[in-house]
Structure 1
Protein backbone atom coordinates (compact mmCIF):
# COMPACT_ATOMS: atom_id res chain seq x y z
CA UNK A 1 0.00 0.00 0.00
CA UNK A 2 1.35 3.38 -0.97
CA UNK A 3 1.59 6.23 1.51
CA UNK A 4 -1.54 8.26 2.04
CA UNK A 5 -1.71 11.41 -0.05
CA UNK A 6 -2.47 14.77 1.58
CA UNK A 7 -5.89 14.68 -0.08
CA UNK A 8 -6.71 11.32 1.46
CA UNK A 9 -5.59 12.37 4.91
CA UNK A 10 -7.56 15.63 4.79
CA UNK A 11 -10.65 14.22 3.10
CA UNK A 12 -10.30 16.69 0.19
CA UNK A 13 -11.08 15.10 -3.21
CA UNK A 14 -8.08 14.48 -5.43
CA UNK A 15 -10.09 15.83 -8.36
CA UNK A 16 -13.35 17.71 -8.54
CA UNK A 17 -15.32 19.28 -11.37
CA UNK A 18 -18.09 21.77 -10.63
CA UNK A 19 -20.68 22.68 -13.27
CA UNK A 20 -18.16 22.18 -16.06
CA UNK A 21 -19.27 23.10 -19.59
CA UNK A 22 -17.53 22.62 -22.93
CA UNK A 23 -18.70 23.94 -26.30
CA UNK A 24 -17.45 23.33 -29.83
CA UNK A 25 -19.09 26.09 -31.82
CA UNK A 26 -22.83 25.57 -31.46
CA UNK A 27 -22.36 22.00 -30.20
CA UNK A 28 -22.80 21.49 -26.45
CA UNK A 29 -20.30 18.74 -25.59
CA UNK A 30 -20.74 19.05 -21.80
CA UNK A 31 -23.21 21.08 -19.77
CA UNK A 32 -23.06 21.59 -15.99
CA UNK A 33 -21.16 18.39 -15.16
CA UNK A 34 -20.08 17.88 -11.53
CA UNK A 35 -18.41 14.96 -9.76
CA UNK A 36 -15.52 14.10 -7.42
CA UNK A 37 -12.64 11.63 -7.45
CA UNK A 38 -11.37 10.62 -4.01
CA UNK A 39 -8.18 8.83 -3.04
CA UNK A 40 -8.74 5.11 -2.62
CA UNK A 41 -12.04 5.20 -4.55
CA UNK A 42 -13.29 4.44 -8.07
CA UNK A 43 -15.48 7.00 -9.83
CA UNK A 44 -17.26 5.44 -12.81
CA UNK A 45 -18.31 7.65 -15.72
CA UNK A 46 -21.00 5.90 -17.77
CA UNK A 47 -22.68 6.78 -21.04
CA UNK A 48 -23.23 5.61 -24.60
CA UNK A 49 -21.36 6.93 -27.63
CA UNK A 50 -21.80 10.69 -27.88
CA UNK A 51 -22.60 11.07 -24.19
CA UNK A 52 -19.58 13.30 -23.52
CA UNK A 53 -17.26 10.79 -21.87
CA UNK A 54 -14.31 11.51 -24.20
CA UNK A 55 -14.67 15.27 -23.74
CA UNK A 56 -14.66 14.87 -19.96
CA UNK A 57 -11.53 12.68 -20.14
CA UNK A 58 -9.78 15.34 -22.21
CA UNK A 59 -10.65 18.05 -19.69
CA UNK A 60 -9.42 15.96 -16.76
CA UNK A 61 -6.21 15.05 -18.60
CA UNK A 62 -5.40 18.59 -19.75
CA UNK A 63 -6.14 18.21 -23.48
CA UNK A 64 -9.11 20.63 -23.30
CA UNK A 65 -9.92 23.44 -20.89
CA UNK A 66 -13.52 23.91 -19.66
CA UNK A 67 -15.37 26.91 -21.08
CA UNK A 68 -17.35 27.30 -17.86
CA UNK A 69 -17.22 25.84 -14.37
CA UNK A 70 -14.34 24.85 -12.12
CA UNK A 71 -11.73 22.09 -12.18
CA UNK A 72 -10.01 21.52 -8.82
CA UNK A 73 -7.03 19.37 -7.86
CA UNK A 74 -6.48 18.83 -4.12
CA UNK A 75 -9.13 21.50 -3.53
CA UNK A 76 -7.31 24.16 -5.58
CA UNK A 77 -8.63 25.51 -8.93
CA UNK A 78 -6.42 24.55 -11.90
CA UNK A 79 -6.39 25.26 -15.61
CA UNK A 80 -4.12 22.81 -17.38
CA UNK A 81 -2.86 23.83 -20.81
CA UNK A 82 -1.37 20.44 -21.73
CA UNK A 83 -1.45 16.77 -20.71
CA UNK A 84 2.11 17.16 -19.40
CA UNK A 85 0.88 19.63 -16.77
CA UNK A 86 -1.78 17.15 -15.65
CA UNK A 87 0.77 14.34 -15.58
CA UNK A 88 3.12 16.46 -13.47
CA UNK A 89 0.28 16.67 -10.91
CA UNK A 90 -0.06 12.88 -10.90
CA UNK A 91 -3.04 12.58 -13.28
CA UNK A 92 -2.32 9.74 -15.72
CA UNK A 93 -4.63 8.66 -18.53
CA UNK A 94 -4.61 5.19 -20.09
CA UNK A 95 -6.35 5.39 -23.47
CA UNK A 96 -7.84 2.47 -25.39
CA UNK A 97 -4.84 2.22 -27.75
CA UNK A 98 -2.54 2.03 -24.66
CA UNK A 99 0.32 3.89 -26.46
CA UNK A 100 2.30 0.66 -26.76
CA UNK A 101 4.45 -0.73 -29.59
CA UNK A 102 3.36 -4.36 -30.18
CA UNK A 103 6.73 -5.63 -31.46
CA UNK A 104 8.70 -4.20 -28.52
CA UNK A 105 9.21 -6.20 -25.34
CA UNK A 106 7.15 -5.68 -22.21
CA UNK A 107 10.01 -3.98 -20.36
CA UNK A 108 10.84 -1.65 -23.28
CA UNK A 109 7.20 -0.57 -23.49
CA UNK A 110 7.03 -0.09 -19.74
CA UNK A 111 9.86 2.47 -19.80
CA UNK A 112 9.16 3.96 -23.23
CA UNK A 113 10.22 7.61 -23.06
CA UNK A 114 11.47 7.33 -19.45
CA UNK A 115 14.33 4.84 -19.73
CA UNK A 116 16.56 4.24 -16.69
CA UNK A 117 20.23 4.81 -17.49
CA UNK A 118 23.60 4.06 -15.96
CA UNK A 119 26.98 5.64 -16.51
CA UNK A 120 27.59 9.34 -17.06
CA UNK A 121 28.11 11.84 -19.86
CA UNK A 122 28.71 10.22 -23.26
CA UNK A 123 28.87 6.80 -21.57
CA UNK A 124 25.24 6.81 -20.43
CA UNK A 125 23.31 3.77 -21.60
CA UNK A 126 20.00 2.04 -21.00
CA UNK A 127 20.17 0.07 -17.73
CA UNK A 128 18.53 -3.09 -19.04
CA UNK A 129 19.00 -5.14 -15.87
CA UNK A 130 17.35 -2.50 -13.69
CA UNK A 131 14.51 -2.07 -16.18
CA UNK A 132 13.71 -5.79 -16.24
CA UNK A 133 13.94 -6.10 -12.45
CA UNK A 134 11.70 -3.06 -11.94
CA UNK A 135 9.09 -4.36 -14.38
CA UNK A 136 8.89 -7.71 -12.60
CA UNK A 137 8.64 -6.03 -9.19
CA UNK A 138 5.98 -3.49 -10.21
CA UNK A 139 3.86 -6.05 -12.01
CA UNK A 140 4.05 -8.52 -9.13
CA UNK A 141 2.97 -5.80 -6.68
CA UNK A 142 -0.13 -5.34 -8.83
CA UNK A 143 -0.70 -9.10 -8.76
CA UNK A 144 0.48 -9.54 -12.37
CA UNK A 145 2.82 -12.43 -13.16
CA UNK A 146 4.19 -11.87 -16.68
CA UNK A 147 5.72 -15.03 -18.10
CA UNK A 148 8.72 -13.28 -19.66
CA UNK A 149 9.39 -9.49 -19.69
CA UNK A 150 11.34 -10.00 -22.95
CA UNK A 151 8.27 -11.16 -24.87
CA UNK A 152 6.72 -8.68 -27.32
CA UNK A 153 3.83 -6.83 -25.72
CA UNK A 154 1.72 -7.75 -28.75
CA UNK A 155 1.75 -11.40 -27.62
CA UNK A 156 -0.07 -10.52 -24.39
CA UNK A 157 -3.83 -10.78 -24.05
CA UNK A 158 -5.91 -7.61 -24.04
CA UNK A 159 -6.34 -7.81 -20.28
CA UNK A 160 -2.62 -8.29 -19.72
CA UNK A 161 -1.76 -5.28 -21.91
CA UNK A 162 -4.21 -3.16 -19.92
CA UNK A 163 -2.62 -4.36 -16.68
CA UNK A 164 0.87 -3.42 -17.91
CA UNK A 165 -0.39 0.08 -18.80
CA UNK A 166 -1.97 0.45 -15.34
CA UNK A 167 1.18 -0.75 -13.56
CA UNK A 168 3.29 1.63 -15.66
CA UNK A 169 1.15 4.61 -14.67
CA UNK A 170 1.31 3.65 -10.99
CA UNK A 171 5.11 3.22 -11.13
CA UNK A 172 5.60 6.70 -12.59
CA UNK A 173 3.76 8.38 -9.75
CA UNK A 174 0.11 8.50 -10.76
CA UNK A 175 -2.21 9.65 -7.99
CA UNK A 176 -5.24 9.63 -10.27
CA UNK A 177 -5.66 6.96 -12.93
CA UNK A 178 -8.10 7.70 -15.77
CA UNK A 179 -9.02 4.55 -17.70
CA UNK A 180 -10.71 5.02 -21.09
CA UNK A 181 -13.05 2.08 -21.75
CA UNK A 182 -10.44 -0.52 -20.63
CA UNK A 183 -12.90 -3.45 -20.87
CA UNK A 184 -14.77 -2.51 -24.05
CA UNK A 185 -12.97 -4.87 -26.45
CA UNK A 186 -12.43 -7.73 -23.97
CA UNK A 187 -14.22 -10.97 -23.30
CA UNK A 188 -15.74 -11.82 -19.95
CA UNK A 189 -12.61 -13.42 -18.47
CA UNK A 190 -10.21 -10.70 -19.63
CA UNK A 191 -12.59 -7.96 -18.48
CA UNK A 192 -12.56 -9.59 -15.06
CA UNK A 193 -8.76 -9.45 -15.05
CA UNK A 194 -8.81 -5.69 -15.70
CA UNK A 195 -11.48 -5.08 -13.05
CA UNK A 196 -9.28 -6.86 -10.53
CA UNK A 197 -6.36 -4.57 -11.37
CA UNK A 198 -8.61 -1.53 -11.01
CA UNK A 199 -9.33 -2.67 -7.46
CA UNK A 200 -5.60 -3.22 -6.89
CA UNK A 201 -4.92 0.39 -7.91
CA UNK A 202 -7.75 1.64 -5.69
CA UNK A 203 -6.44 -0.36 -2.73
CA UNK A 204 -3.02 1.25 -3.20
CA UNK A 205 -4.64 4.60 -2.52
CA UNK A 206 -5.11 5.91 -6.05
CA UNK A 207 -8.19 7.73 -7.23
CA UNK A 208 -9.50 5.89 -10.29
CA UNK A 209 -11.75 7.29 -13.02
CA UNK A 210 -13.26 4.32 -14.88
CA UNK A 211 -14.88 5.31 -18.18
CA UNK A 212 -17.30 2.68 -19.49
CA UNK A 213 -20.64 2.10 -21.18
CA UNK A 214 -21.19 -1.15 -19.27
CA UNK A 215 -22.97 -0.87 -15.89
CA UNK A 216 -22.27 -4.56 -15.20
CA UNK A 217 -18.54 -3.80 -15.22
CA UNK A 218 -18.90 -0.51 -13.34
CA UNK A 219 -21.09 -1.48 -10.39
CA UNK A 220 -18.89 -4.19 -8.80
CA UNK A 221 -15.85 -1.89 -8.60
CA UNK A 222 -17.36 1.60 -8.44
CA UNK A 223 -17.73 3.81 -5.38
CA UNK A 224 -19.32 6.69 -7.30
CA UNK A 225 -21.26 6.81 -10.57
CA UNK A 226 -21.63 9.75 -12.97
CA UNK A 227 -24.11 9.08 -15.78
CA UNK A 228 -23.88 11.15 -18.95
CA UNK A 229 -26.35 11.49 -21.79
CA UNK A 230 -25.72 13.85 -24.73
CA UNK A 231 -23.39 15.99 -22.70
CA UNK A 232 -25.65 16.33 -19.67
CA UNK A 233 -25.69 14.56 -16.34
CA UNK A 234 -28.37 12.02 -15.50
CA UNK A 235 -27.06 12.00 -11.94
CA UNK A 236 -23.98 11.66 -9.77
CA UNK A 237 -24.51 8.92 -7.19
CA UNK A 238 -22.58 7.31 -4.35
CA UNK A 239 -22.88 3.53 -4.36
CA UNK A 240 -25.32 3.48 -1.45
CA UNK A 241 -27.60 5.87 -3.38
CA UNK A 242 -28.24 3.65 -6.40
CA UNK A 243 -28.73 -0.07 -7.03
CA UNK A 244 -27.30 -2.06 -9.91
CA UNK A 245 -30.81 -2.38 -11.35
CA UNK A 246 -31.42 1.40 -11.20
CA UNK A 247 -28.03 2.06 -12.77
CA UNK A 248 -28.78 -0.39 -15.58
CA UNK A 249 -32.23 1.13 -16.14
CA UNK A 250 -30.82 4.65 -16.43
CA UNK A 251 -28.13 3.45 -18.81
CA UNK A 252 -30.62 1.48 -20.91
CA UNK A 253 -32.84 4.48 -21.48
CA UNK A 254 -35.59 3.48 -19.04
CA UNK A 255 -38.69 5.34 -20.24
CA UNK A 256 -37.56 5.37 -23.89
CA UNK A 257 -37.22 1.59 -23.97
CA UNK A 258 -40.56 1.16 -22.24
CA UNK A 259 -42.28 3.42 -24.79
CA UNK A 260 -40.67 1.48 -27.65
CA UNK A 261 -41.80 -1.83 -26.17
CA UNK A 262 -45.40 -0.55 -26.04
CA UNK A 263 -45.22 0.42 -29.72
CA UNK A 264 -43.94 -3.02 -30.66
CA UNK A 265 -46.71 -4.70 -28.71
CA UNK A 266 -49.45 -2.78 -30.53
CA UNK A 267 -49.56 -5.04 -33.54
CA UNK A 268 -46.30 -5.99 -35.19
CA UNK A 269 -46.70 -9.75 -34.80
CA UNK A 270 -45.39 -12.41 -32.47
CA UNK A 271 -41.69 -11.81 -33.15
CA UNK A 272 -42.05 -8.10 -32.41
CA UNK A 273 -43.96 -8.86 -29.21
CA UNK A 274 -41.13 -11.13 -28.13
CA UNK A 275 -38.69 -8.28 -28.84
CA UNK A 276 -40.93 -5.99 -26.78
CA UNK A 277 -40.79 -8.35 -23.84
CA UNK A 278 -36.99 -8.40 -24.06
CA UNK A 279 -36.89 -4.61 -24.13
CA UNK A 280 -39.11 -4.46 -21.05
CA UNK A 281 -36.79 -6.84 -19.25
CA UNK A 282 -33.81 -4.65 -20.24
CA UNK A 283 -35.57 -1.50 -19.07
CA UNK A 284 -36.44 -3.06 -15.75
CA UNK A 285 -32.80 -4.09 -15.21
Structure 2
Protein backbone atom coordinates (compact mmCIF):
# COMPACT_ATOMS: atom_id res chain seq x y z
CA UNK A 1 0.00 0.00 0.00
CA UNK A 2 2.90 2.36 0.66
CA UNK A 3 6.01 3.17 -1.33
CA UNK A 4 9.06 2.50 0.83
CA UNK A 5 12.13 4.55 -0.12
CA UNK A 6 15.06 2.65 -1.56
CA UNK A 7 18.09 2.14 0.74
CA UNK A 8 20.37 5.13 1.00
CA UNK A 9 23.65 3.71 2.19
CA UNK A 10 26.01 6.35 0.80
CA UNK A 11 25.82 9.94 -0.35
CA UNK A 12 26.39 10.88 -3.96
CA UNK A 13 30.04 11.72 -4.41
CA UNK A 14 29.68 14.86 -6.45
CA UNK A 15 32.57 13.62 -8.61
CA UNK A 16 32.68 14.63 -12.30
CA UNK A 17 29.94 12.92 -14.23
CA UNK A 18 27.82 12.21 -11.15
CA UNK A 19 24.93 14.22 -9.67
CA UNK A 20 25.57 16.79 -6.98
CA UNK A 21 25.17 15.35 -3.47
CA UNK A 22 21.83 16.01 -1.76
CA UNK A 23 21.55 19.11 0.36
CA UNK A 24 20.68 16.79 3.25
CA UNK A 25 20.76 13.04 3.67
CA UNK A 26 19.58 11.08 6.70
CA UNK A 27 20.43 7.39 6.98
CA UNK A 28 18.82 4.99 9.46
CA UNK A 29 18.30 7.51 12.27
CA UNK A 30 16.87 6.11 15.51
CA UNK A 31 16.02 7.88 18.76
CA UNK A 32 14.58 6.62 22.04
CA UNK A 33 13.38 8.50 25.09
CA UNK A 34 13.47 5.90 27.83
CA UNK A 35 11.08 3.13 26.85
CA UNK A 36 9.57 5.17 24.01
CA UNK A 37 11.00 4.72 20.50
CA UNK A 38 10.37 8.08 18.82
CA UNK A 39 12.27 7.13 15.65
CA UNK A 40 13.18 3.57 14.68
CA UNK A 41 14.79 3.75 11.22
CA UNK A 42 14.43 7.03 9.31
CA UNK A 43 16.12 7.58 5.96
CA UNK A 44 15.39 10.50 3.67
CA UNK A 45 17.01 12.77 1.12
CA UNK A 46 16.46 16.44 0.44
CA UNK A 47 17.70 17.50 -2.97
CA UNK A 48 19.25 20.91 -3.51
CA UNK A 49 16.58 23.52 -4.16
CA UNK A 50 13.80 21.05 -3.37
CA UNK A 51 10.75 21.54 -1.16
CA UNK A 52 9.96 18.30 0.67
CA UNK A 53 6.68 17.84 2.52
CA UNK A 54 6.92 15.72 5.68
CA UNK A 55 3.54 14.44 6.83
CA UNK A 56 2.35 12.00 9.46
CA UNK A 57 -0.02 11.66 12.37
CA UNK A 58 0.67 13.21 15.78
CA UNK A 59 3.32 11.16 17.57
CA UNK A 60 4.80 9.77 14.36
CA UNK A 61 8.19 11.33 15.12
CA UNK A 62 8.19 14.41 12.88
CA UNK A 63 9.12 16.87 15.63
CA UNK A 64 11.83 14.56 16.97
CA UNK A 65 13.40 14.32 13.52
CA UNK A 66 13.34 18.09 13.08
CA UNK A 67 14.90 18.58 16.52
CA UNK A 68 17.69 16.16 15.62
CA UNK A 69 18.39 18.00 12.39
CA UNK A 70 18.32 21.38 14.15
CA UNK A 71 20.68 20.29 16.95
CA UNK A 72 18.29 19.98 19.92
CA UNK A 73 18.64 16.20 20.14
CA UNK A 74 21.39 13.75 19.26
CA UNK A 75 20.35 10.56 17.45
CA UNK A 76 21.07 7.21 19.10
CA UNK A 77 22.11 5.62 15.80
CA UNK A 78 22.34 6.56 12.15
CA UNK A 79 24.06 9.38 10.34
CA UNK A 80 23.42 12.80 8.84
CA UNK A 81 25.14 14.00 5.67
CA UNK A 82 25.08 17.69 4.71
CA UNK A 83 26.08 18.53 1.15
CA UNK A 84 28.11 15.32 0.85
CA UNK A 85 29.87 15.46 4.23
CA UNK A 86 28.88 13.35 7.23
CA UNK A 87 28.34 15.49 10.32
CA UNK A 88 27.54 14.99 13.99
CA UNK A 89 25.33 17.95 14.86
CA UNK A 90 26.23 18.99 18.39
CA UNK A 91 23.99 21.99 19.03
CA UNK A 92 21.59 24.50 17.48
CA UNK A 93 24.48 26.86 16.83
CA UNK A 94 26.42 24.06 15.17
CA UNK A 95 23.44 23.25 12.93
CA UNK A 96 23.19 26.90 11.93
CA UNK A 97 26.91 26.99 11.15
CA UNK A 98 26.21 24.11 8.73
CA UNK A 99 23.47 26.17 7.09
CA UNK A 100 20.52 24.42 8.79
CA UNK A 101 17.92 26.65 10.42
CA UNK A 102 14.47 25.93 11.79
CA UNK A 103 11.32 28.05 12.03
CA UNK A 104 9.02 26.67 14.73
CA UNK A 105 5.37 27.44 15.33
CA UNK A 106 6.26 29.80 18.19
CA UNK A 107 8.67 31.62 15.81
CA UNK A 108 11.09 32.84 18.53
CA UNK A 109 10.19 36.44 17.77
CA UNK A 110 10.01 39.10 20.47
CA UNK A 111 6.65 40.83 20.21
CA UNK A 112 7.77 44.06 21.88
CA UNK A 113 10.60 44.62 19.39
CA UNK A 114 10.33 46.11 15.93
CA UNK A 115 10.37 44.11 12.72
CA UNK A 116 13.92 45.14 11.92
CA UNK A 117 15.22 44.36 15.41
CA UNK A 118 13.67 40.89 15.14
CA UNK A 119 15.25 40.40 11.73
CA UNK A 120 18.68 40.95 13.30
CA UNK A 121 18.00 39.31 16.65
CA UNK A 122 21.26 37.90 18.10
CA UNK A 123 23.21 39.14 15.11
CA UNK A 124 22.77 42.86 15.52
CA UNK A 125 24.85 45.31 13.50
CA UNK A 126 26.86 47.46 15.90
CA UNK A 127 28.50 50.81 15.31
CA UNK A 128 30.41 50.96 18.53
CA UNK A 129 29.18 51.64 21.14
CA UNK A 130 25.62 51.68 19.78
CA UNK A 131 23.41 49.50 17.62
CA UNK A 132 23.53 50.57 13.98
CA UNK A 133 19.75 50.90 13.73
CA UNK A 134 19.81 52.75 10.43
CA UNK A 135 21.72 49.94 8.71
CA UNK A 136 19.52 47.23 10.23
CA UNK A 137 16.37 49.12 9.24
CA UNK A 138 17.59 49.55 5.66
CA UNK A 139 18.70 45.92 5.27
CA UNK A 140 15.52 44.54 6.86
CA UNK A 141 13.44 46.54 4.38
CA UNK A 142 15.57 45.30 1.47
CA UNK A 143 15.45 41.66 2.56
CA UNK A 144 11.68 41.69 2.98
CA UNK A 145 11.15 43.48 -0.33
CA UNK A 146 13.43 41.01 -2.11
CA UNK A 147 11.30 38.13 -0.84
CA UNK A 148 8.05 39.92 -1.67
CA UNK A 149 7.01 40.17 1.98
CA UNK A 150 4.73 43.16 2.36
CA UNK A 151 5.19 44.88 5.70
CA UNK A 152 4.04 48.48 5.86
CA UNK A 153 6.85 49.55 8.19
CA UNK A 154 9.88 47.74 9.58
CA UNK A 155 9.51 50.06 12.59
CA UNK A 156 6.25 48.35 13.57
CA UNK A 157 6.19 46.15 16.64
CA UNK A 158 5.88 42.47 15.74
CA UNK A 159 2.94 42.12 18.15
CA UNK A 160 0.85 44.33 15.85
CA UNK A 161 1.33 42.13 12.77
CA UNK A 162 -0.76 39.24 11.50
CA UNK A 163 0.25 35.64 12.04
CA UNK A 164 1.21 35.30 8.39
CA UNK A 165 3.39 38.38 8.52
CA UNK A 166 5.15 37.15 11.66
CA UNK A 167 5.79 33.78 10.05
CA UNK A 168 7.18 35.50 6.94
CA UNK A 169 9.55 37.59 9.09
CA UNK A 170 10.85 34.46 10.83
CA UNK A 171 11.44 32.75 7.47
CA UNK A 172 13.13 35.84 6.01
CA UNK A 173 15.40 36.08 9.05
CA UNK A 174 16.56 32.49 8.53
CA UNK A 175 17.12 32.95 4.81
CA UNK A 176 19.22 36.06 5.33
CA UNK A 177 21.19 34.35 8.09
CA UNK A 178 22.68 32.24 5.27
CA UNK A 179 20.48 29.19 5.84
CA UNK A 180 20.79 26.75 2.95
CA UNK A 181 18.51 24.13 4.53
CA UNK A 182 15.30 25.49 6.03
CA UNK A 183 13.07 23.40 8.29
CA UNK A 184 9.53 24.76 8.65
CA UNK A 185 7.54 23.22 11.51
CA UNK A 186 3.83 23.65 10.80
CA UNK A 187 4.22 27.09 9.17
CA UNK A 188 0.53 27.21 8.21
CA UNK A 189 -0.97 26.06 11.51
CA UNK A 190 -3.99 28.05 12.71
CA UNK A 191 -3.81 30.46 9.77
CA UNK A 192 -6.69 31.67 7.65
CA UNK A 193 -6.70 31.37 3.87
CA UNK A 194 -5.24 34.84 3.27
CA UNK A 195 -2.39 34.42 5.75
CA UNK A 196 -1.67 30.90 4.55
CA UNK A 197 -1.48 32.16 0.98
CA UNK A 198 1.22 34.64 2.05
CA UNK A 199 3.43 31.83 3.35
CA UNK A 200 2.74 29.57 0.36
CA UNK A 201 3.76 32.42 -1.96
CA UNK A 202 6.94 32.92 0.07
CA UNK A 203 7.83 29.23 -0.22
CA UNK A 204 7.21 29.38 -3.99
CA UNK A 205 9.50 32.37 -4.29
CA UNK A 206 12.24 30.60 -2.33
CA UNK A 207 11.83 27.51 -4.52
CA UNK A 208 12.10 29.62 -7.67
CA UNK A 209 15.41 31.00 -6.45
CA UNK A 210 16.79 27.50 -5.97
CA UNK A 211 19.17 28.68 -3.24
CA UNK A 212 17.44 27.10 -0.25
CA UNK A 213 16.31 23.50 0.27
CA UNK A 214 13.20 23.22 2.45
CA UNK A 215 11.44 20.60 4.56
CA UNK A 216 7.88 21.53 5.53
CA UNK A 217 6.00 19.69 8.26
CA UNK A 218 2.29 20.10 7.55
CA UNK A 219 -1.07 18.51 8.23
CA UNK A 220 -2.87 20.17 5.31
CA UNK A 221 -2.13 17.80 2.46
CA UNK A 222 -3.66 20.09 -0.17
CA UNK A 223 -1.11 22.75 0.74
CA UNK A 224 1.69 20.17 0.67
CA UNK A 225 0.71 19.17 -2.86
CA UNK A 226 0.49 22.82 -3.86
CA UNK A 227 4.05 23.87 -2.99
CA UNK A 228 6.15 20.73 -2.43
CA UNK A 229 8.12 18.79 -5.02
CA UNK A 230 7.96 15.54 -3.08
CA UNK A 231 6.20 14.13 -0.05
CA UNK A 232 7.38 11.71 2.66
CA UNK A 233 5.06 10.01 5.12
CA UNK A 234 6.47 9.24 8.57
CA UNK A 235 4.70 6.39 10.37
CA UNK A 236 5.73 4.54 13.51
CA UNK A 237 9.17 6.11 13.52
CA UNK A 238 10.12 5.45 9.88
CA UNK A 239 9.49 6.85 6.40
CA UNK A 240 6.97 4.54 4.74
CA UNK A 241 6.09 6.56 1.65
CA UNK A 242 8.16 8.69 -0.72
CA UNK A 243 6.67 10.12 -3.91
CA UNK A 244 6.88 13.11 -6.19
CA UNK A 245 3.82 15.25 -5.57
CA UNK A 246 3.02 15.10 -9.28
CA UNK A 247 2.61 11.34 -8.92
CA UNK A 248 0.25 11.32 -5.94
CA UNK A 249 -3.02 12.97 -4.94
CA UNK A 250 -4.90 14.37 -1.99
CA UNK A 251 -7.10 11.27 -2.01
CA UNK A 252 -4.12 8.91 -1.90
CA UNK A 253 -2.45 10.74 0.99
CA UNK A 254 -5.70 10.91 2.93
CA UNK A 255 -6.38 7.22 2.36
CA UNK A 256 -2.93 6.30 3.69
CA UNK A 257 -3.42 8.20 6.93
CA UNK A 258 -7.01 6.98 7.39
CA UNK A 259 -5.87 3.40 6.86
CA UNK A 260 -3.22 3.83 9.55
CA UNK A 261 -5.80 5.30 11.93
CA UNK A 262 -8.18 2.40 11.35
CA UNK A 263 -5.38 -0.13 11.81
CA UNK A 264 -4.41 1.50 15.10
CA UNK A 265 -8.03 1.47 16.29
CA UNK A 266 -8.20 -2.26 15.55
CA UNK A 267 -5.05 -2.78 17.57
CA UNK A 268 -2.87 -3.49 14.56
CA UNK A 269 0.88 -3.22 14.81
CA UNK A 270 3.32 -1.20 12.75
Please, what TM-score do these two structures have when normalized by structure 2? 0.86
Residues 142, 200 of structure 1: 8 Å contact kept:
yes
Tell me the secondary structure at the aligned position of residue 43 of structure 2. strand
Pairing 1:223–2:229 present: yes
Pairing 1:192–2:197 present: yes
Deviation at 1:254, TM superposition (A): 6.2
Residues 215, 251 of structure 1: 8 Å contact kept:
no
Pairing 1:93–2:98 present: no
Measured against aligned partners, the alpha-carbon deviations of 1:233-284 in whole angstroms (never above 9, x if no partner) come to 2212222442232122223336828x99xxxxxxxxxxxxxxxxxxxxxxxx
Inter-partner Cα distance in structure 1 for 2:214 and 2:238: 21
Which blocks of at least 5 consecutive residues in structure 2 are unaligned? 1-13
Query: Which structure shows the higher helix fraction?
Result: 1
Please, what TM-score do these two structures have when normalized by structure 1? 0.82
- Aligned match for 2:162, one of 150, 157, 163: 157
Alignment-derived partner of residue 262 in structure 2: 256
- Aligned match for 2:88, one of 65, 70, 79: 79
Inter-partner Cα distance in structure 2 for 1:129 and 1:108: 11
Alignment-derived partner of residue 53 in structure 1: 62
Pairing 1:129–2:129 present: no
Deviation at 1:136, TM superposition (A): 0.7
* Number of matched pairs: 248
Inter-partner Cα distance in structure 1 for 2:109 and 2:215: 21
Residues 162, 182 of structure 1: 8 Å contact kept:
yes
Which blocks of at least 5 consecutive residues in structure 1 are unaligned? 1-6, 261-285
CA-atom RMSD in angstroms: 1.9
Stretches of 4+ aligned residues off by more than 6 angstroms: none
Inter-partner Cα distance in structure 2 for 1:240 and 1:107: 38
Alignment-derived partner of residue 112 in structure 1: 121
Measured against aligned partners, the alpha-carbon deviations of 1:28-51 in whole angstroms (never above 9, x if no partner) come to 101111111122110111012111
Pairing 1:40–2:15 present: no
Distance 1:97 1:255, change over 3 A: closer
Alignment-derived partner of residue 23 in structure 1: 32
Residues 31, 76 of structure 2: 8 Å contact kept:
yes
Deviation at 1:11, TM superposition (A): 2.2
Structure 1 or 2, whichever has the larger Rg, is: 1
Inter-partner Cα distance in structure 1 for 2:107 and 2:261: 37
Inter-partner Cα distance in structure 1 for 2:25 and 2:246: 20
Measured against aligned partners, the alpha-carbon deviations of 1:167-208 in whole angstroms (never above 9, x if no partner) come to 111111010110010101111221111111111222222000
- Aligned match for 1:102, one of 104, 108, 111: 111
